[in-house]
Amino acid sequence: MKQNTIPIKITTLTPVHIGSGHEIKGNFEYVYFPKEQVLAMIDPEKILQKIGEDHIDLWVAAIDQQQNILNALPQLRDIHPDDIAQRIINIPGATPNAEKNAIKEQIHLGTAQPSIPGSSLKGAIRTAILNKLIKDNPHFVQEDKNLTKKRRYSASQIEAHYLGREEGSNRFGEIQQSPNKDLLRFLRIRDAYFSDPTCVVRNTIINLFRHGWGEKREESSFYECIPANAQANSSLQVPEDLIRQVQNKRYIQSRNFDLLSAQRLFKEINKHSISLLDEEIFFWEDEENPLAIGDYLEHLKRLKNEIEKASDDSCILRVGAGSGWKFTTGGWVSGKDAMGDYILSDNTWTNIKRTLRHKNYPDDVFFPKTRKMVEGGEPLGFVKLSLKK
């Protein structure tokens, strides 16, 4: 069966964090080396070789008391990070406090290398395609009954309608989604493994307060990230023979298989990314570029410029933590269709906002009213996909 595997190169344009679900604890799983400005992920076997079995009790006591083991264990003074590390993590900015700050770990897949799973890339691509289809033909989402599942707002009927549906409906009269009939089933993306060492960044949350924009310091955290300008290899795979079979048998009634060709896909992703960046740039210019966001606006303009200069064989999208509500959903709920008209009515959008908010806010308060970014204003999660020549 012809798979049409297309090699691609992935380049991170800003730090990227795909979480493993684990938090790395200071002085237990990592220690800070101030001279080298790095964190060392502790290798227990290396520690044991340095201190000897006779001093295990001292090591355990230091951990229990949350002490810096480099100071608590004499055998570890004046050592190099590599002497006790599984891996080294760079610190380009703010340094976490080992006694207070756990670090959200970057996922490392089978090779123990920092990774971007193919599923994460595919999820971002799925969002771009779904938004294109909605904007081209918004009539389905303009009926309130299609925006709910079991009487709650949900995207499941929308994805079923635009990307693959099961014939018939459930007892609530809702369209059911079938994974076997999903358009994106026919796009496969290989996991990307990076050889570059990771880095730790301080993730800040910028929020709209009564007095203006500022940082929610109590909610700031540290992320282990794949740094900007790291590169890895991956591939796109489209099973052309299988697509022809399902088309011939009319198993999937979709006219959108052409979206899965690499250059068409890249073109649509770039259009999607530019539209979201334009919205974000306009928003912050209208807010007069507050000091709280640092260089965020300049970074957004640089990213937009890079997309505009991109050739047909490359695209830029956003993945992972800190992407924000609009980039995660594509923002079609509050956005405009291909003709420039708002997709949803003011009343429907207001009702959706009320269900999405965790607290009661006046309807005229911005949504979303927070942004996550690296301390100083760098956005998280932007990557470039390029066809390998």
Amino acid occupying residue 61: A
Asked if 11 and 46 sit in the same domain, the reply is no
User: Domain range holding 332?
Assistant: 5-17+114-387
Cis status of the peptide bond prior to 15, with omega within 30 of 0: no
Q: Is residue 97 part of a domain?
A: no
Q: What pLDDT score was predicted for residue 315?
A: 96
Q: What pLDDT score was predicted for residue 312?
A: 86
226 pLDDT more than 90 = yes
- Mean pLDDT score of the chain: 89
Using DSSP's 3-state secondary structure scheme, residue 122 falls into: helix
Asked if 185 and 131 sit in the same domain, the reply is yes
90 pLDDT more than 50 = yes
Asked if 120 and 30 sit in the same domain, the reply is no
Asked if 375 and 274 sit in the same domain, the reply is yes
Kindly report, residue by residue over 139-169, the tens digit of the pLDDT: 999 998 888 877 778 888 888 888 876 545 5
Q: Is residue 382 part of a domain?
A: yes
- Count of structural domains within the chain: 2
Q: What pLDDT score was predicted for residue 98?
A: 82
Q: What pLDDT score was predicted for residue 1?
A: 46
Query: Which residue, 100, 94, 106, 98, is CA-closest to 376?
Result: 94
pTM: 0.91
Better-scored residue on pLDDT, 320 or 176: 320
**Mean predicted confidence (pLDDT) in 92-114:** 89
Kindly report, residue by residue over 362-389, the tens digit of the pLDDT: 888 889 999 999 999 999 999 999 998 7
Distance of CA 376 to the CA centre of its chain: 19
Kindly report, residue by residue over 232-272, the tens digit of the pLDDT: 999 998 877 777 777 776 666 567 878 888 888 999 999 99
Q: Is residue 91 part of a domain?
A: no
Kindly report, residue by residue over 31-84, the tens digit of the pLDDT: 999 899 999 999 999 999 999 888 889 888 988 888 888 888 888 888 999 999
Q: What pLDDT score was predicted for residue 156?
A: 83
Using DSSP's 3-state secondary structure scheme, residue 188 falls into: strand
Q: Is residue 367 part of a domain?
A: yes
Asked if 153 and 280 sit in the same domain, the reply is yes
Q: What pLDDT score was predicted for residue 327?
A: 94
**Mean predicted confidence (pLDDT) in 89-96:** 90
Asked if 170 and 281 sit in the same domain, the reply is yes
Domain stop point among 35, 68, 86: 86
User: Within the chain, where are the H helices?
Assistant: 44-51, 56-64, 69-72, 118-136, 156-163, 240-248, 262-286, 296-309, 324-329, 346-356
Q: Is residue 262 part of a domain?
A: yes
Asked if 47 and 173 sit in the same domain, the reply is no
121 pLDDT more than 80 = yes
| Percentage of the chain modeled with pLDDT above 70 | 93
Q: Is residue 253 part of a domain?
A: yes
Asked if 187 and 308 sit in the same domain, the reply is yes
**Mean predicted confidence (pLDDT) in 332-359:** 90
Structure tokens at 105: 């770990």
Asked if 124 and 32 sit in the same domain, the reply is no
Q: Is residue 95 part of a domain?
A: no
Q: What pLDDT score was predicted for residue 245?
A: 76
Q: What pLDDT score was predicted for residue 249?
A: 67
Asked if 13 and 52 sit in the same domain, the reply is no
Spatial distance between the Cα atoms of 112 and 110, rounded to a whole number of angstroms: 5
Beta bridge partners of 149: 152
Asked if 371 and 319 sit in the same domain, the reply is yes
Angular region, 346: left φ>0, alpha ψ -120 to 50, beta rest = alpha
**Mean predicted confidence (pLDDT) in 266-285:** 96
| Percentage of the chain modeled with pLDDT above 90 | 60
**Mean predicted confidence (pLDDT) in 216-240:** 92
Asked if 65 and 174 sit in the same domain, the reply is no
Q: Is residue 107 part of a domain?
A: no
Confidence of residue 210 (pLDDT cuts 50, 70, 90): confident
Which of 87-96, 106-115, 237-246, 255-264 shows the lowest mean pLDDT across its residues?
237-246
> Nearest 5°: phi and psi at 199?
-135, 165
